[in-house]
Amino acid sequence: MKLIKIILAMAGLVATPIVTIAGEDSQLTINEEPFVTSVAAPAHLENVDTIYSGWTFRTDETQALQMDDFDNPAFVFIDQAIDTFNAVDGSAGKACVSCHESPEVFKGLRASMPRVNGSGELETIPELVNNCRTERMGAEKWKWSGGKMAGMIGLIGLQSRGMTVDVAINGPATSMWEKGKELYYQRVGQLDMSCSNCHEDNYGNMIRADHLSQGQINGFPTYRLKNAKLNTIHGRFKGCMKNIRATPFKEGSDEFKALELYVASRSNGLMIETPSVRN
């Protein structure tokens, strides 16, 4: 623990000694529906007793933005995605709605992703979307963190809002989950730090002006006030790796997919909050 403080200090990141969970006693409601934001950690987590939604660690003002869809800036992009869902694109002359009656058919999907498919491949929502675009619509792939993709995965994720995260980690997922776990605990970059150094050992502490969370992904894609757009899971992983001066993996890479599976499994028991709001 001491070593980590020294490393944080070296990086100009000041950690305060007392762990505080600011919003521990505050209740997240969205459109007046109550949400579970802390719960006993899943059995596979060895070093953490309770898991907390990232919402818990944000300021009152940021928290409030997520509590009403009229105030939540993410909905601008969700509304655009509804238009995209209904718009014909590509050589087959089809729209998403030509085959999927409405976004609501995707209810439940987000809560179980990523998952291993029948061919033993780990699949993520952006890949499922792009697969439909290239194989079924004759349309171009969307960029992983581009505006169209982020909006569409926001719209798909929203259908599972309030559902409990339940990502499978056994059977065919085991080897990829283990690879993700390894990456989570692996020290990298000039600062020689792992995800766990911040999000497991130091959650609740301050890093510069930022209140460190457990780095959960149950609210993604997330609207960030910092860049005023929807941010994807792999986009966030990339940002954290850059902050410790490591060379980030590519969005959509096997490494980030395995890491996503592992990090998602650390949220097992929390609720999907897509689209969340962060600083």
CB-based contacts of 96: which residues, under 8 Å, 6+ apart? 84, 85, 86, 132
Classified as helix, coil or strand, 119 is coil
Minimal CB distance residue for ligand HEC? 54
Number of helical H runs and strand E runs in the chain: 10, 11
Q: Contact with ligand HEC (CB under 6 A): which of 15, 41, 78, 96? A: 96
- Give the one residue of 219, 221, 235, 269 binding ligand HEC; rule: CB under 6 A: 219
Three-state SS for 146? coil
69 vs 100, which CB is nearer to ligand HEC?
Answer: 100
* 242: number of Cβ within 10 Å: 12
CB of 266 to ligand HEC, least distance (A): 10
Choose which of 66, 72, 216, 265 interacts with ligand HEC (CB under 6 A). 216
Helices (H), the chain: 2-10, 60-65, 75-86, 96-99, 125-131, 147-158, 174-185, 195-199, 233-243, 254-266
Is 240 catalytic? The answer is yes
| Least distance between ligand HEC and beta carbon 68 (Å) | 19
CB–CB of 37/241 below 8 Å?
no
With residues binned 3-state (H G I as helix, E B as strand, rest as coil), the percentages for the chain, rounded to 5, are: 40, 15, 50
Is position 243 an interface residue for ligand HEC (rule: CB under 6 A)? yes
Residue 49: CB minimum distance to ligand HEC, A:
18
Among 222, 232, 268, 274, binds ligand HEC (CB under 6 A): 222
Which residue of 72, 197, 205, 265 would you call a contact of ligand HEC, by CB under 6 A?
197
What minimum distance in Å lies between the beta carbon of 243 and ligand HEC?
Answer: 6
Query: Amino acid identity, residue 79?
Result: D
Is 143 a residue that touches ligand HEC (CB under 6 A)? no
Range in contact with ligand HEC (rule: CB under 6 A) among 23-31, 66-74, 158-166, 214-222: 214-222
Distance between CA atoms of residues 58 and 112, nearest Å: 26
Q: Exposure string (b/e) for 89-106, b if CB count within 10 Å is 16 or more? A: beeeebbbeeeeeebeeb
Using an 8 Å Cβ cutoff, are 66 and 273 in contact?
yes
Instruction: Report if residue 9 touches ligand HEC, rule: CB under 6 A.
Output: no
* Binding residues among 145-164 for ligand HEC as defined by CB under 6 A: 152, 156
Please list the active-site residues: 240
List of residues contacting ligand HEC (CB under 6 A): 54, 57, 94, 96, 98-100, 106, 109, 125, 128-129, 132-133, 136-137, 152, 156, 193, 195, 197-199, 207, 210, 212-213, 215-217, 219, 222, 236-237, 240-241, 243-244, 259, 263, 278
